Amino acid sequence: MPLYRPLYRESHVLRAVDLAGEQAYRIAMQRRHNIGGHGWGIVNGLGIDEAGGEVVVNPGLAVDGYGRQLVLSEAVSLGTAQLQSLETDKADVWLQYGLMAATPRQRGRYACGPMRESRGYEEARVLIAEASSADPRLPMDVPDADLDFAAYREPPDDPRIEWPIYLGTVSIESGNLVVDKTRPYATLVGRNITTPRGDVVVRLGTSRHGDDTRAALSIQKGKDEWVDALRIDRRSQVYVAQDLHVEKNLELQGPASGAGPTSTRARLRFARPIDAPDKAAPWSIYRATVREKAGDKEVSHQQLRFEIADPGKKGDPTRYAMCLRHANGSKPILTAAADRSVTIHAELKVTGQIIQGPISADPNDTRLMSKFTDQWLSGLVAGGGKIGAAVARVLEVAVHVTTPVQVGASAEYTVTIKNSSKGTISNLEAYDNVLLGTTPLKRGQIGVKPSSLEKDKATDPLKVTFPIPAGTPAKEPLTVAVLAMAIGPEQTLVCGIGADTVTVEPSNPVS
């Protein structure tokens, strides 16, 4: 059906039908625009408040499903009596298009009365009705054929063809006004939203064949280069292609328990690994592919990496750590510090195997010290417990066995360690080996304090007690040897050995 509009020329006699046709054409085109590029609903204002004990609808603008503009230029009071007349606790508030005919007062003599009005005025009528469960987007008074009213159709101008717009449901509870604000707002219809500069575009829907994009935020990076910084596909999966900065908490929420399969539960998944970076990436989590040489072949494996910062030589590594805490946050469960030390602050239960990696030549590796001590103690036993006088004394170890040492009684020795190196030492550890003749009686680590010593400083005297078994032959030599090891000033391993030998006396006879 063609759209007619008046055409004017010089000396054209204008009739009422010409002016009415001009007005009808422009009104219809405006309403087509309102529902063609937009969706109907509340545009601005029209909130519901309480003022002076009355329920008030504030001024605002709305567009109904036929494209008609509903302008409420001033607040409208519903009145408590009007609400009480419904005899219900809740009431729906609606806004409806109205068109009234009128004749304004003017000078002169003119025919007046019904059907002779010279003006028509549009109004937005506020209506109330008993609350219902109807969908605000499906007004009950609108024919089903008009619920999706197309812009190419002829918009009606007859106010008897209704399209009410839901403003809210009001109720008075304990003297207070409660408003349900699930209201239909006007929408925007289109494919792209572009900034004035044209460098950012919001794309809605698929723009080319084979593209499964449902929505995307595209950013121009070069003259002809565009990147989808954010994209949502038809499976409702979200893709972020740029750095994501989260200034508040990031919370993963899955469906409620029993609401879906376990595959739909919230999780953080690293779907695609990256090549292991050449440089550190502090405070980051990523999945990396690590490639290593295995003979003549190159093998690769994947790692999930948690990186923390390096405090440097002067920083405290314990202040740069990854920590797992209890739910109440009071005490840590596990701490991994920047110096590669892992501390377990709770009971460790192992249901499988614990496999240690190879011992490296690293003085910070406590397994190296333990292995070194074990070899020394084994050699000491094989050598009959004799301590060579040529041992270097970077650490001066003084051992004194308290006498007399008797069979069947407890023996005691005291040890102190002095730092004779050129600087401060750290990670100080000491191991003893007690020999009864050539038979090992006791061997293991002893707890000397402090573990760090400045130059020419010594540890606190440590007393160690151990039993002499009954049946030990009298006059048997008892040797107590102590090996001390620490990390020296230049991150080298320094050590020292001290020993004391006494003779075991027979036990005192019982009188």
The pLDDT, as a whole number, for residue 384 is: 47
What digits encode the pLDDT tens for the residues 127-157? 888 888 888 888 888 998 999 999 999 999 8
The pLDDT, as a whole number, for residue 400 is: 95
Q: Angle CA(397)–CA(403)–CA(404) in degrees, nearest 5?
A: 150
Least confident segment among 144-153, 181-190, 399-408, 410-419: 181-190
Q: How far apart are the C-alpha atoms of 59 and 292, rounded to whole Å?
A: 72
Q: Angle CA(181)–CA(138)–CA(42) in degrees, nearest 5?
A: 45
Alpha carbon 210 to its chain's center:
33
> What's the pLDDT band for 164 if we cut at 50, 70, 90?
very high
A 10 A CB-CB count for 322 gives 15
Between 260 and 25, the more confident residue is 25
Q: Does residue 444 come out as left (phi exceeding 0), alpha (psi in the -120 to 50 range) or beta?
A: left
Residues 6+ apart with CB under 8 A from 57: 46, 47, 48, 72, 75, 76, 78, 93, 95, 126, 167
H or E element at residue 25:
helix 16-36
CA-based nearest residue to 502, from 480, 478, 476? 478
Whether the predicted pLDDT of 392 surpasses 50: no
What digits encode the pLDDT tens for the residues 216-227? 998 988 888 888
Burial of 507 (0-12, 13-18, 19+ CB in 10 A): middle
> What's the pLDDT band for 509 if we cut at 50, 70, 90?
low
Q: Write down all domains in the chain, each with its CATH number in brackets.
A: 16-186 (2.60.520), 192-240 (no CATH), 275-344 (no CATH), 366-505 (2.60.40.10)
The pLDDT, as a whole number, for residue 246 is: 85
Structure tokens at 333: 């469960």
Strands (E), 143-237: 165-173, 176-180, 187-188, 192-194, 200-204, 213-220, 226-233
Amino acid code (one letter) for 186: A
The pLDDT, as a whole number, for residue 508 is: 73
The pLDDT, as a whole number, for residue 106 is: 59
H or E element at residue 21:
helix 16-36
Average pLDDT over residues 9-37: 89
Q: Does residue 491 come out as left (phi exceeding 0), alpha (psi in the -120 to 50 range) or beta?
A: left
Average pLDDT over residues 264-290: 83
Taking the CA of residue 75 as centre, how many other CA atoms within 13 Å lie in the half-sphere pointing to its CB? 13
Spatial contact of 490 and 475, defined as CB atoms under 8 Å apart = no
Amino acid code (one letter) for 454: E
Alpha carbon 207 to its chain's center:
32
The pLDDT, as a whole number, for residue 391 is: 41
Average pLDDT over residues 400-411: 92
Spatial contact of 479 and 434, defined as CB atoms under 8 Å apart = yes
The pLDDT, as a whole number, for residue 348 is: 85
Average pLDDT, rounded, for the chain: 82
Q: How far apart are the C-alpha atoms of 236 and 470, rounded to whole Å?
A: 80
H or E element at residue 369:
helix 366-382
> What's the pLDDT band for 387 if we cut at 50, 70, 90?
very low
Structure tokens at 285: 């989590």
For residue 139, what is the DSSP state?
A: -
Between 416 and 394, the more confident residue is 416
Give me the residues paired with residue 417 across strands.
397
What digits encode the pLDDT tens for the residues 291-308? 888 888 888 989 998 888
Q: Angle CA(199)–CA(204)–CA(208) in degrees, nearest 5?
A: 90
The pLDDT, as a whole number, for residue 314 is: 79
Average pLDDT over residues 245-262: 72
Whether the predicted pLDDT of 207 surpasses 70: no
Q: Angle CA(410)–CA(411)–CA(416) in degrees, nearest 5?
A: 140
User: Could you tell me what percent of the chain has a pLDDT over 90?
Assistant: 25
Whether the predicted pLDDT of 12 surpasses 80: yes
Q: What SS3 state is found at 14?
A: coil
Strands (E), 181-320: 187-188, 192-194, 200-204, 213-220, 226-233, 238-240, 274-275, 284-294, 297-307
Spatial contact of 42 and 62, defined as CB atoms under 8 Å apart = yes
3-state secondary structure 407-429: CCCEEEEEEEEEECCCCCEEEEE
Residues 6+ apart with CB under 8 A from 120: 99, 100, 101, 102
Q: How far apart are the C-alpha atoms of 202 and 425, rounded to whole Å?
A: 63
